[in-house]
Amino acid sequence: MKKTSENVLEKPASLSIAIVGSGGSGVMTAGSLLLEAAGHAGLYGIMTRSSGPQIRGGEGAALLRFSTNPVFCHSGHFDLLLAIDWLNADRFAAEITLDENSHIIGDEAIPEVFSQSGASVREISFKQLAAQSPGLRPNMIALGLIGSAIGLPGEALEDVSRKLISKKGEDAVQASLAGLSLGASNASLLDGFAAIANNLKPHPEDLPELWNISGNEAAGLGAIRGGIRFVAAYPITPATEILEWLAPSLEKVGGVLVQAEDELASVNQLIGASFGGTPSLTATSGPGLALMTESIGLAVASETPIVVVNVARGGPSTGIPTKSEQSDLNIALYGLHGDAPHLVVAPFSVSDCLFSTQWAVHLAETLQTAAIVLSDQSLGQTRSIIPRPANVSFTTRRVIQSEATENYQRYMTGGSGVSPMALPGLAGGQYTADGLEHSPTGTPSSRAEDHAQQLDKRRDKLLQHDYGEHWAHIEGDGAMAVITWGSSLAPVREALNALAAEGITVRLIAPRLLMPVQPERMAAALAGIEIALVVEQSHGAQFFHYLRAFYAPTCELHSMALPGPLAIRPDDVRKEIRKQWSRE
């Protein structure tokens, strides 16, 4: 394949590296250390993990991409495939795409699916090298080799390795450093690859403070910044890291995390804690969200603020628990029974997991309702080198009834629709929060006028709120638009950058606030658009149907809806846009 404009994305403005190996070979350690060292050297990067279904010991792939600019997704092309060993590595063939510009290094047992790609092959057995001396580990040799080939300073790799391995004792540290050095001494094997990597020179003088963080950790930090001090949750892939990060972190700031018996319990624990005045959050994934939906409706009806972070995975049912999909959109939007207006907020980058979660806490607390944050596996479990996220602070909080008044009415109607909430302990504020429809005092009522009034109250308080510019990410001009959301934003954005280089301008519209819908803002965003492509990772085109139902765009609307587990590739988006564009 010749490098033509069709392959413009594959030019190495970035560098993509896949490290594969069997369980226990240290693939993930090597990848994590490489990412961390690259960050220290001033490079941006991401690392995603792919692994077999085994709980422990299965084959694994660390997929990394580096750039001198912030990087948000994989490119769909790998410059280097390094195998510590080749056991079951062919299972990753769909994710690790190679061509004649790629490089492969590993022992001679290279699977055909890779060798047939036309990539340059160098044979070396990391296991044999490691056998030369006691304590040497194949993954550290591999790490030294890659690090040297891409020009990372030796100290950067040594520092991060020492930091990780020091708890195993000085002998282990020395063995690791010897491994790095042995690897570096073989770097000439990758001369061809090093030539590509040569383009990747960081500009340390321009760098902001860099963080190494995953989307799940970022969501946890956003929760705490938003004021969350109570979390109850049940473990579930791929959301568990939020909880594992929050447990010690909440403890440090005076909060509490409780491991509940199931998701039915965790969401109800949140409602109880929030009723007592403590901002509360849980994290889960599709199956857990399905279990929680009845009680999310209770939070809506009783106007008790809670936040549910849903880190989506492939569905339905148990689906593909370790891989990403955007197919929990429908349940987040429509899963509650009755008319239950609530908030749905979708982050679109690792860094935005922090902002969106913090914003969702702010909105749920301010509007006294339930908020669902729709993250997904590809955001949550991607580890990323990013510029320090801005420290945003929101001023409005939950409106509390601060003193006893005559005839306090918890569910008083009128005004903004948000009525002051009395907290237990306030004399004269006693009321019963209720999932039964109620009058303004909270008294259960099946009267038509009470139902109508309270339905209006719960809807209007969300509609009257000004969500400001945070509602969406919008950029670019032109008569064509791509409308997308969540993790699909990254490949779309990269495709649009490539198109811009070809002289094609396309507007990008990505709502962060999915509920309540913002028709006027969307109409303004779509002004002048003649044709739009809707990009999402769901087999059922859930986002496309949502847009048609709530925004009824008058432009020509096309759907690019791909199921998981393979990530949407920037170049596929670019080709689809060109196809739609050329029809005009």
Which residues bind to other proteins, rule: CB under 8 A? Answer: 36, 39-40, 209-213, 217, 221, 224-225, 229-230, 232, 249, 251-254, 256, 258, 260-262, 264-266, 268-278, 280, 294-295, 297-298, 302, 385, 388, 422, 424-436, 442-444
Residue in the structure block whose two tokens are 């946890």: 220
Choice between 380 and 516, CB closer to other proteins: 380
> How near is the Cβ of 348 to other proteins at its closest, in Å?
20
> How near is the Cβ of 220 to other proteins at its closest, in Å?
9
Choice between 102 and 419, CB closer to other proteins: 419
Contact assessment for residue 114 and residue 104, using Cβ atoms and an 8 Å cutoff: yes
- Encode 54-111 in three state secondary structure: CCCCCCEEEEEEEECCCCCCCCCCCCEEEECCCCCHHHHCCCCCCCCCCEEEECCCCC
Checking phi first, is residue 558 left (phi over 0); if not, alpha (psi -120 to 50) or beta?
A: beta
Angle CA(464)–CA(470)–CA(471) in degrees, nearest 5?
Answer: 60
Choice between 110 and 265, CB closer to other proteins: 265
> How near is the Cβ of 256 to other proteins at its closest, in Å?
4
- Helices 350-367 and 215-226 meet at what angle, rounded to 10? 30
Q: Pick from 216, 513, 228: which is nearest to 351 by CA?
A: 216
Beta-bridged to residue 310, according to DSSP, are: 284, 374
Q: Can you tell me whether residue 524 is helix, strand or coil?
A: helix
Tally of CB atoms within 10 A around 16: 26
Contact assessment for residue 300 and residue 369, using Cβ atoms and an 8 Å cutoff: yes
Choice between 84 and 160, CB closer to other proteins: 160
> How near is the Cβ of 417 to other proteins at its closest, in Å?
21
What single DSSP character describes residue 189? G
Angle CA(125)–CA(78)–CA(53) in degrees, nearest 5?
Answer: 70
> How near is the Cβ of 217 to other proteins at its closest, in Å?
7
Tally of CB atoms within 10 A around 537: 30
Choice between 168 and 388, CB closer to other proteins: 388
Contact assessment for residue 203 and residue 68, using Cβ atoms and an 8 Å cutoff: yes
Element (H, E) at 265: helix 263-275
Q: Half-sphere exposure of residue 484, counting CA atoms within 13 Å on the CB side?
A: 32
Taking the C-alpha atoms of residue 233 and residue 281, their distance in angstroms, rounded to an integer, is 9
Q: Pick from 260, 237, 256: which is nearest to 248 by CA?
A: 256
> How near is the Cβ of 350 to other proteins at its closest, in Å?
11
Choice between 50 and 214, CB closer to other proteins: 214
> How near is the Cβ of 435 to other proteins at its closest, in Å?
6
Contact assessment for residue 34 and residue 82, using Cβ atoms and an 8 Å cutoff: no
> How near is the Cβ of 277 to other proteins at its closest, in Å?
7
> How near is the Cβ of 305 to other proteins at its closest, in Å?
13
Choice between 232 and 490, CB closer to other proteins: 232
> How near is the Cβ of 557 to other proteins at its closest, in Å?
39
> How near is the Cβ of 444 to other proteins at its closest, in Å?
6
Choice between 273 and 522, CB closer to other proteins: 273
Choice between 72 and 126, CB closer to other proteins: 72
List all residues 6 or more positions away from 114 whose beta carbon is below 8 Å from its beta carbon.
81, 89, 90, 93, 96, 98, 104
> How near is the Cβ of 428 to other proteins at its closest, in Å?
7
Choice between 24 and 424, CB closer to other proteins: 424
Choice between 269 and 580, CB closer to other proteins: 269
> How near is the Cβ of 156 to other proteins at its closest, in Å?
10
List all residues 6 or more positions away from 213 whose beta carbon is below 8 Å from its beta carbon.
221, 350, 351, 383, 384, 386
Choice between 53 and 425, CB closer to other proteins: 425
Choice between 402 and 430, CB closer to other proteins: 430
Q: Which two tokens stand for residue 182?
A: 């042995």
Q: Can you tell me whether residue 482 is helix, strand or coil?
A: strand
What single DSSP character describes residue 176? H
Backbone φ and ψ for 283, nearest 5 degrees, come out as -130, 140
